[in-house]
Amino acid sequence: MDLLNTLVEKGLRRELPTREEALAVLATSDDDLLEVVAAAGKVRRQWFGRRVKLNYLVNLKSGLCPEDCSYCSQRLGSTADILKYTWLKPDEASKAAAAGVAGGAKRVCLVASGRGPTDRDVDRVSQTIEAIKEQNEGVEVCACLGLLSEGQAERLRAAGADAYNHNLNTSEGTYGDITTTHTYADRVDTVRQAQSAGLSACSGLIAGMGESDADLVDVVFSLRALDPDSVPVNFLIPFEGTPLAKEWNLTPQRCLRILAMTRFVCPDVEVRLAGGREVHLRSMQPLALHLVNSIFLGDYLTSEGQEGRADLEMIADAGFEVEGADTTTLPEHRAGGGCGPCGESAPAADDALGPEGRTVAAGTASGADPASASRTDLVAVRRRGAGTDLAPNA
C-alpha cells in the first residue's frame, strides 16, 4: 500500500505526515489492519527496538474534584461508586510506589484529583517525591496534579520530579463540549510551564468520546507541535454515573488504527498505551505492543486493570522485553531535552495548535467503526491499592 510505504519512510526520517495521510490511516479497512500495524511497527522498532517501558500509577487523592470533565469518574456531580479519600501520607504513597517498582515499573506517576495544586499541596507532593526517590533508587517520578500556577513546576523539579503529565484529551474545537470549568488553552499553558521548568512533558489524549476522525488528527497534531516526550493514548472507560457512560464507540480494530496514526505522527516519542486498553482492545492487546513502547502496569486511578503478572506475560509472549532502569527510553536526539517538532514539513506551532478541517460530524467519521456493544462488565472499579488496606495490583 503506497500510503503505508510513504508513512514508514516519513516516520524513519521523523517527518510529519500530512493531515490527509493521518486521516487515511483512520479510514483503512479491517482487511488492511495487519498491514497498518506492521508498517507502524517498523517505525516503533526504529526508535525503540522491542523495549516496553512500564509505568505505575499512584492515586494520591481520589474523587471530589470540582472540575466537570465529562469523561472522569472523579468529576463534579459524578455518582460513580469509586474510592474517595484525601491525600495519602508520603510514606503511604512511597509504599504503594514500591509495589509498582518491584513489579518492573521504571516510572511512578503521582496523580491527585482537583483543578490544580495549592502551594501546600506542592509541599506535600514534594515530600512524597523525596520519599519515593530515597527508597527506590533510579526510579522516575511524574506528577499529575492539574493546572499549575506560576513557580509550581520549578518547585516540583527542585523536589526531584522528572516529568509532569497534563493531557490535552481532545481537539481544541470540541474541548468545550467535554469540559466547561477550564479551557483547552489552560491545558496547553500547563504543559508549556512544565517544559520551561525543565520537566519532561507528558501529554496525550482520550479516544472514544464521540469525536470524529478529524478531531483525533487535530489533537495528535497539536501534541506533535507541543513536543512532549511522552504521549499517553487513553480509551474512554464509560463509567456509570458520568455523562459519557453510554459512549461505547470503540472496537479493538479502531483502537489499533488510532495508535498507529499516533505513532506515524509522533514517531520518536514515547507512545504509551494507557487507560481503557483492557476494556476496548481486550484479546488484541498484544498487537498494540507493535505500536506503543510504554504501558501502565496493573490498575489505574479509579478502575482495575489487568493483573500485573498478566501484563508481564503478555509482553514476553509477544516477543518484547521490559525496559530496564539503566536504559534511556528516548532516542539519543531527544534524550537531551527534545528536538522540537522534527522534519522539514513540520508546521509552525501556532498553526498546528488550531482546529482544522472539522467537517465530519462527531461519531460519523469516514471509516469509523460501528459502535461496540456496551460491555459494562469490563469496567471494574478499583477496590485495592492506594486508599485501601488491600495489596495493590502490580
Q: What is the CATH number of the domain that holds 57?
A: 3.20.20.70
Distance, first Cα to last Cα, the chain: 41
Query: Among 107, 124, 272, 358, which one carries the catalytic annotation?
Result: 272
Residue 357 has pLDDT above 60, yes or no: no
**Is 22 a member of any domain?**
yes
Integer CA distances (angstroms), 146 to 65, 84, 113, 194, 333, in order? 11, 18, 7, 11, 29
**Is 333 a member of any domain?**
no
**Is 336 a member of any domain?**
no
pLDDT computed for residue 337 by the predictor: 52
Residue owning grid cell 505500536: 291
Question: DSSP character for 214?
Answer: H
**Is 206 a member of any domain?**
yes
Q: 107-141 burial by CB neighbour count: b if 16+ within 10 A, else e?
A: bbbbbbbbebbeeebbebbbbbbebbbeebeebbb
Residue 190 has pLDDT above 50, yes or no: yes
Helix axes 19-26, 213-226, angle to 10 degrees: 130
Alpha carbons within 13 angstroms on the beta-carbon side of residue 90 total 15
**Is 314 a member of any domain?**
yes
- The Cα 188–Cα 198 span in angstroms is 16
Query: Among 14, 44, 202, 266, which one carries the catalytic annotation?
Result: 202
Q: pLDDT tens digit string along 152-189?
A: 999 999 999 999 999 999 999 999 999 999 999 999 99
Query: Among 14, 44, 65, 257, which one carries the catalytic annotation?
Result: 65
**Is 157 a member of any domain?**
yes
Residues in the chain: 394
Query: Among 14, 44, 72, 257, which one carries the catalytic annotation?
Result: 72
Average pLDDT over residues 129-157: 96
**Is 385 a member of any domain?**
no
Return the ∠ at Cα 85 (arms to 374 and 71), rounded to 5°: 30
pLDDT computed for residue 231 by the predictor: 98
Determine whether 339 is an active site residue: no
Determine whether 69 is an active site residue: yes
Query: Among 14, 44, 69, 254, which one carries the catalytic annotation?
Result: 69
**Is 295 a member of any domain?**
yes
Instruction: Please name the residues in contact with 163: beta carbons below 8 A apart, sequence gap of 6 or more.
Output: 107, 140, 141, 142, 143, 194, 199, 200, 201, 202, 229, 230
Q: How many domains does the chain have?
A: 1
Confidence (pTM): 0.89
Q: Which three cell numbers stand for residue 91?
A: 510514606
Residue 347 has pLDDT above 60, yes or no: no
Range of the domain at 240: 2-326+342-378
Give the confidence band of 204 by pLDDT, cuts at 50, 70, 90: very high
Determine whether 255 is an active site residue: no
Query: Among 142, 255, 266, 342, which one carries the catalytic annotation?
Result: 142
Query: Among 14, 44, 107, 109, which one carries the catalytic annotation?
Result: 109
Residue 340 has pLDDT above 70, yes or no: no
Is-contact 135 127, C-beta < 8 A? no
Determine whether 144 is an active site residue: no
Residue owning grid cell 493514548: 233
Is-contact 153 201, C-beta < 8 A? no
Coil, strand or helix at 213: helix
Determine whether 124 is an active site residue: no
Give the confidence band of 373 by pLDDT, cuts at 50, 70, 90: low
